[in-house]
Structure 1
Amino acid sequence: MPPSESAAPDRPEAEPDVRRQAALWLIELQADGDNPELRARWRRWHDAAPEHRQAWARIEAFGASLRQLPPVLAHAALAPRKSRRRALKALGLLLAGGGAAWIAADSPRLPTLLAAQRTGRGERRHIVLADGSRIDLNADSALDIRFDAEVRHLILHEGEIHVLTAPDPAGRPFFVDTPHGRAQALGTRFTVRTGAASHVAVHAGAVAIHPRHAPDAEPLVLTAGQQARFTDRAAGPPTPASEADAAWTRGILVAEDMPLPVFIAELARLSGRPLQCDPALAALKVSGTYPLADPERVLDLLAAALPVRVLRRRRWWGGEAYEVVPA
C-alpha cells in the first residue's frame, strides 16, 4: 500500500505537476479500471518515485467524502468498469474535499478525460445526433455535443471525427470547435482531426475555417475535394483531399508510401492491438489498403512482402503483443 503522509511527515510537498498526474490517474482508473494495461501503467507510475507515492497517498487521505470511493483504488485492482458519471463523481469528491487547488483542476487534459463521448485505442463509435446529423468518432478521440435552440455545436478535444450534417428546419449553424479554432459546416460531409494542429478535409459541400486567435481574418472556405491544416493563428493553404482520409469509417487503413514504423503505430492505434516496430525499419514504405479488424493478417502480409519478421510474445496479463523487426 502507498505510504501515508503521516509515515513521512518531513517529506516535501509533491510538485503541482505530480499532483495533477495523481488526480488524472484517479479519473482514468475510475473510468477504465478493468483495463490491465492501464493498471500496469498506473503501478509503474506509482512506483517510479517517492513523490508519486506521496501524491497518491494524499488523494487517499482527503477525508470522509473521498473514503466513499472503493478502497481497492489504492491497489488498482478495481471492480468492473465505472461509467463517466463515476469519474465525474470522483473528481467532484476531490473538489468538495478541499482538493481544488491541490489537483489544479484547470489541467488541459481534464476536458478530454471528462468528455461525454470518448473512445480508446481500437474503438470507433457511430452517433446519430438529435437533428439527424451523423458522426463517426475515430479511436483515441474525445467529443462533447452541445445543441441548443440557437446553435448545433461539437467540441472535439482530441482525435478525429467524420461528420455528415442534416438540414436543420430552425436554420441553426453547425460548428465544430477544436483547440485551434472553429470549422463551420455549410451543408456538408467532412472530417476534422486535431493534434499539434487541426486538419479539415471536405468531401461534400463546404466548410469555413476560423482560427481561434485570428478574429479579424477572412475565414478560409474549403469546398468538396479540398483540405487544409490550421493553427490558432492561421489556416491554409488548401490542398487536394482524398476519400482515403475517411477510410477508417469503413474499418480500413489506407497507406501511400508510409514509413513502416508510422504505419505500424497507426495500425496499433486504430486496431487497439499491442504492435511495435523497430525504428531501424523507417526506410521501408507501405502502400495499400488494410483491414483494421484483422491486424495479424496485415502483419503476415508485411512479413511476406518486406524484409521483416514478426515477433509474437504472450503477455503475463493475457493476450499477445507483436513487434516487427528486421529479417
Structure 2
Amino acid sequence: MMSAVSIMKSREDLQAEAAEWVVRLGAESATDEDRAACVKWKGQSAAHQAAFDYADRTWRHLAMLDATPVAVQSLAIQPHTRRSRRVQWLGLAACFAGLAIVLFLQFDALRTMVMADYRTGSGEQRQISLPDGSTVFLNTASAIALRFDDHARRVELLSGEALFVAAPKQGSESRPFVVTGGEGSVRALGTQFIVRRFEHADELTVIEHSVEVSVDRHTQAAAPVIVEAGQRVRYDGRSGPGSVADVNIEQVTSWQRGRLLFDRMPLAEVIAEINRYRRGRIVIMNSDLATRRVSGVVMIDKVDDSLSIIASELGARTASLTSYLTLLY
C-alpha cells in the first residue's frame, strides 16, 4: 500500500510538472509537438488535468497578464531533475509576477489617489468624520469619494472595505445616506453597516438596524432587498442581490480591534484575507494545501509572523522570491 508520505510526494511532483508545462507552452518557441505532448500528459489521469488547471490559473493570477505569458519568449525549459524544474518555475514566476504586481500596484494606487477624497494604504486604518456628522472607518487598502448634493448624502466606495455609522435623518437633514460601489448601492435605514468591494461583487453586512440594497442589473432593475442587523448579502450587476445569510458580527468587525478571526476557513480564503493587510502577495502553490481548514487569531500588525506559524502548523514551507511575492507550498 502506498504511504501517505508517498501520496504527498506524488502530488507535489504532479504540480511541479504541471507548472513546467504551463511555462513551456507559454513560450514563443512552443511547438505543436509540445502542445500534443501536453495533451497526452494531461490525459494520463484526472489528477494530471487538475494539476495543470491549477498551475495555469496560478500563473495567470501571478502575472496578471492575458492568457499567454509572452514574456517567457526567450527562455527554454530544459529536462533537468524534478527539483531543478521547480526552481525554474519559481524563478520565472518570481521575475514576471514580481514585475506585474509592482506595475499593477503602482497604477492602482495612482488611480485611487486621483479619485479618492480619503484612502488608506496596506495595513492602515482610518476614522473619518463626514460633513453631515456621519463617521466612516476605512479598513486596509480602501478609498472613498464623497458625492454629497442636495438630493443625497452619497459616498462612493472606490476600493476595499469601510464601516459606516450614518447620521440619522432628523431636523433639517432629510437626505438619505447612500453608499455606492462597483455593483450597486445601499441606503441606510439605520446606523451601522459595512460595505466591501470584491472583484466582481459587493458585499453588505449590517451591524445595527437595517439597510436597503438596490442593484441595476444589465438586463433589468432588481427588486430592493432589506438586510437586517446580523445579516449579510453579496450582490452584483449580473444577478442582483444573492441570498441573505446570518453572520458572526464579532468576527466580521474584528479588524476594528486589530485582529482577524478565522473559524475553520479554507487556507485559500485565510491567505486572501491576510494579503489585504500587507504589501505584495502570498500565493499558495499547492491545491491540496489551499483547501486545508484553518482556525485562529491573526494580529494585523503581525501578519507576516502569522504566515510562518500557519506554515508550521500545516507542515508547509514558504519562499520569499521578491519583496512582493511569497510562495506557500
TM-score under structure 1 normalisation?
A: 0.59
What does residue 289 of structure 1 align with? 297
Deviation per residue, 1:240-266 (Å, 9 max, x gap): 122112222222222232222332232
Task: Tell me the CA shift for residue 279 of structure 1.
Answer: 3.0
The residue identity in structure 1 corresponding to 2:193 is: F
What does residue 260 of structure 1 align with? 267
Conserved in 2, the CA contact under 8 Å of 1:112 and 1:157? no
Q: Does the alignment pair 1:298 with 2:301?
A: no
Which residue, out of 175, 187, 190, partners 2:190? 187
Which residue, out of 212, 217, 220, partners 2:216? 212
**Are the structure 2 counterparts of residues 294 and 146 from structure 1 closer, same or farther at C-alpha, using a change threshold of 3 Å?**
same
Q: In percent, how many aligned pairs have the same letter?
A: 31
Distance 2:227 2:117 in 1: 29
What does residue 132 of structure 1 align with? 133
Deviation per residue, 1:148-200 (Å, 9 max, x gap): 34321101122211111122431221000112221000122111112211111
Task: Please identify, of 285-294 and 199-208, the stretch whose mean Cα deviation from structure 2 is larger.
Answer: 285-294
**Are the structure 2 counterparts of residues 231 and 251 from structure 1 closer, same or farther at C-alpha, using a change threshold of 3 Å?**
same
Q: Does the alignment pair 1:235 with 2:230?
A: no
Conserved in 2, the CA contact under 8 Å of 1:135 and 1:162? yes
Task: Tell me the CA shift for residue 309 of structure 1.
Answer: 3.0
Q: Does the alignment pair 1:278 with 2:282?
A: no
Which of the pair is proportionally richer in helix? 2
Coordinate RMSD, CA, aligned: 3.4
What does residue 251 of structure 1 align with? 258
What does residue 324 of structure 1 align with? 328
Q: Does the alignment pair 1:199 with 2:203?
A: yes
Conserved in 2, the CA contact under 8 Å of 1:122 and 1:273? no
SS in 2 for 1:166: coil
Task: Tell me the CA shift for residue 139 of structure 1.
Answer: 2.3
- Structure 1 segments of 4 or more deviating over 6 A? 42-46
Distance 1:149 1:43 in 2: 41
SS in 2 for 1:218: coil
**Are the structure 2 counterparts of residues 127 and 299 from structure 1 closer, same or farther at C-alpha, using a change threshold of 3 Å?**
same
Distance 2:223 2:291 in 1: 41
**Are the structure 2 counterparts of residues 313 and 202 from structure 1 closer, same or farther at C-alpha, using a change threshold of 3 Å?**
same
Distance 1:321 1:194 in 2: 23
**Structure 1: gaps (5+ residues):** 1-39, 47-75, 77-83, 88-109
TM-score under structure 2 normalisation?
A: 0.59
